[in-house]
Amino acid sequence: MTKGKWVAVVAAVFLFAAAIVFGVEEAQSLFGTLADFVTGGAE
């Protein structure tokens, strides 16, 4: 797989785990922060 696909898979697993551990709303906030970091770092 390409690096981008690995990032997407890891992000999906992280979001799923975070939703279980922290609750959906908190997970969405964390995921948004992570997405900003990843997309910002990729540019």
Over range 4-16, report the average pLDDT: 86
User: Which pLDDT tens digit goes with each residue over 18-31?
Assistant: 888 888 888 788 77
Confidence of residue 43 (pLDDT cuts 50, 70, 90): low
pLDDT at 35: 80
Q: Is the pLDDT of residue 41 over 70?
A: no
Task: Spell out the domain ranges in the chain.
Answer: 3-42
* pTM of full prediction above 0.85: no
Structure tokens at 28: 């969405």
